[in-house]
Structures are given as structure tokens and as C-alpha cells.
Structure 1
Amino acid sequence: MIESRTSELPYIERVWRSRSVDVTRMMSVATPHWELVFWEHQGRPQAAVLGPEPRASQAPVPEDAVFFGISFALGTSMPHIPVSGLVGGNAEIPDVTRRSLWLKGSAWHVPGYDNAEAFVLRMVREGIVDQDPIVPAVLGGARPDVSDRTLQRRFVAATGLTQGAVRQIDRARQAAVLVQEGMPAQDVVHRLGYFDQPHLARSLSRYIGRTATRLSSPDGAEPLSLLYKT
């Protein structure tokens, strides 16, 4: 079970927490966002930076583990860990205890679900997290006064993905939510601009790891990672 919330901080896309109960694997759906994730399993606390996921994949879930994560907004990055090198991968954070962790040579208190914003604001103040304003501007429909080549280069540098990949992933996630809510596949095709139902099916299989039929009947043995209505 996953609980999540939005944030008013422009650097944060979402904050979430979960506990694994009677689940040994999940379908990790594609996401353009990178995350800072903390978890504890068998008394051992751990943390890692998880990069964007360009496609869906199965992921093992440790038994009876507790997780907490901060999903960062598009365009937000950690300059000392380039997001382009994290796509489809992760970077473990060493020397984590229940109370502290080390980030770029400094000791930090481990954040929690309710104080994630204070943690991220400190990261911003100390230059560990930065944001390229061109990314949210472009995604919001603006056309920055730079060349197409410069725009694409900065977008990929800040997100690890192309604009096209981000939009395809986002559309597939929207489609999955609509199907789960009971909308017929043909209506999803028209609403989100897919060519036809086979096009929707290919997108769902690639980015969500489920067909529309399977999304309509949730699989308790292999749940999906975080999906939410944007």
C-alpha cells in the first residue's frame, strides 16, 4: 500500500511512503522523475537516489520493509550526481543510520514524510539541488528564447530524457489512471490523442507493464508502483 501527497515546494513532485506486506515483487512503472528513497529492512536503514525509469520493469520487494520517498519535479537535479547517468539505475547513499546520512560531505538528519520540504530546502540552500527553469517553462507550454538545439540539450541535461520521452511516459501514466477508473479504452484513445487502441496497448505495455484488461483487474500479488492523477 502506498500513501502519497503533493507539495507546494516547486522542487518536489510528490512525497510518498509505503510498507511491503505479503508482496514479493511489483511492477515499477515508467517515470520521468528521479527520487530520493529511504527504507528499512530487517533493522538496516538504507537510502539511494533512483533515476528516471524510461520503461516499466519488474522489481523485487523486500519482505516487511518500510519505505519513504521524495519524487523531485522535472528540471530539478543534483549537479554532483548527473541525472543523465542515473536513467534506469540508482546511486546508493552510504553510511545511513536511522537518524543521519551523509550528503556531499555533510551530516544530515534523515527526513520523514511530514518534513520533506525542510530537508529539500536545505539541499537547495547548500547547492546540492538546483533547478533549470527552462524545463517547467517548456512543459507549461512556453517557448524560451533559445535555439532548439540548446533547448533539447538543457532539457536532457536536467531530466535525463528527451521532451518526447517525458510526454509519452506522462500520457501512458494518465491513460493507466483513466483505465483503472473505469474509462473504456476507446474513450482513453480519443481523450489522450492515441492513434488507435493498438497504439494505446503498446504504450501501456511499454511504460506501465500492463494491458488495459489487467489494469481493469488489479493484481494484488504484483502491484504497480506509484500512479496518481496529475
Structure 2
Amino acid sequence: MGTSNGGEQHTAHEGGPYGALRQLLDGRWTCRRFRPEPVPRETVERLLRLAQRTPSWCNTQPWQVELTEGAGTERFRAALLEHVRTQPPAPDFPFPEQYAGVYRDRRRACGFQLYDALDIARDDREGRWRQTLRNFELFDAPHVALVTTEADLGVYGAVDCGLYLNSFLLAAQSLGLGAAPQAALASYAPFVREHFGLPENRRVVAGVSFGHPDLDHPVNGFRTAREDVPTAVTWHPN
């Protein structure tokens, strides 16, 4: 009975906001190859207006975004790639030292799907490194957004930026754009600050490369799975 009622409720809501949000969430994916043509400024501004509606703690709206287009994207791409080839990572927020258990398994499954799509053998270290560098080539995207916050706002400023990133990704999806959320871009935070002339108290949270997706490229052909709700949620009944 419970399954039947849930199905009826699910169907009843499909035509409204629930259905629209479900379609966006189910359809969103990480684009790792873009077409070169830029997104019209009007479309980018529509995306940004949607993302700006993100909720935040006490409405602090702590995100500050550096957004590139045209020659600005090309300068950043070239300079970042040169920097990455010669300098070690220096993120503002420490990356995990290791992934264990289910987190390791999920991460590996995603990586195997990526490498299989590109015919990169699992023992091909050079091929894997070349694919890693694609992060810093922005996957050929015509635009990138670097999301930052102020150091004084602490971890919750970064959490709010995470909410902003999700809004940004869903807004891009709603406009037919491809997007790639990239912690990799935050791994060279001092370079990002220097390149964009940001003050020292600005912390780099993540980047999003975005544009028109190249749907014919095999790297954009795979989709990652999600765990069922019971693996993430524990009910505490009365």
C-alpha cells in the first residue's frame, strides 16, 4: 500500500514544480567537453540571477564570483595551465587526505567510468595525468566562474557557497548549458587570487566551467549513479 500511495503522489506532482525540479536534478551531469562558442551575455545574466536566489545563513550571501568570457577566459586558462605544470597545489580548504570505504568505492567507480569513456587503461598513468590536466584547460569551456568567500565567515560561508554552486548548476541545466563543478580549480588558490587581483582574505571554494556542451564527445556519454535514500537517511519514528 505504501508503495502504491507513494507512486500516486509522485505522479500527481509531476506536472508542477516538483516535476520540473526532479527533471533538473535527474538530468544534471558534469560536462567535460564544451563547444567553443560563447554563451550570450543575456543568457549568462539569467543564470546568475537564478543562482543569486540561493538561501544563506542569516541572508549573508557570502559568495563572490569571478566570471570570465572571451579573452579573459583564454588568459586564465593559459596562465593556470602553466602554473599547474610547475607549482604544487595550495588549496585554502584542505582536501581529504584519503578516501576510505564507500567513499573510496564511489570515487573509483566514477573514475573508472571516465577512463573507460576515453579508452584510458587503468595502468596508463600518462593518460590519466593528461586527463587531470583537462581540468585546468577548463575542458575547453568558453567561461569559468570562480566562487570565493571571505575568510572571516568560516566554514559556514563555504557551506553557503556550496548551496550557491548547486543553484548555479541547476540554473545552467535549465538553460540548456553544460557545466563542470571543479574543486581542482580551488587547489591553486593563491594563483587565483593573484590572477584576479583578489585580497588575501578571500578564500577560493570551487570553480565551474560552463558553456554549450559537446554532446558528440564520448567523455560526455556516461552518467554516475546515486545511492538509494535509505543509505543516507536514518528515520527516528515516534
Q: Which structure has more helix as a fraction of its residues?
A: 2
Of structures 1 and 2, the larger Rg is shown by 2
**Common fold, TM-score beyond 0.5?**
no
TM interval, short-chain normalised: under 0.3
| TM-score, L = length of structure 1 | 0.23
Q: Which structure has more strand as a fraction of its residues?
A: 1
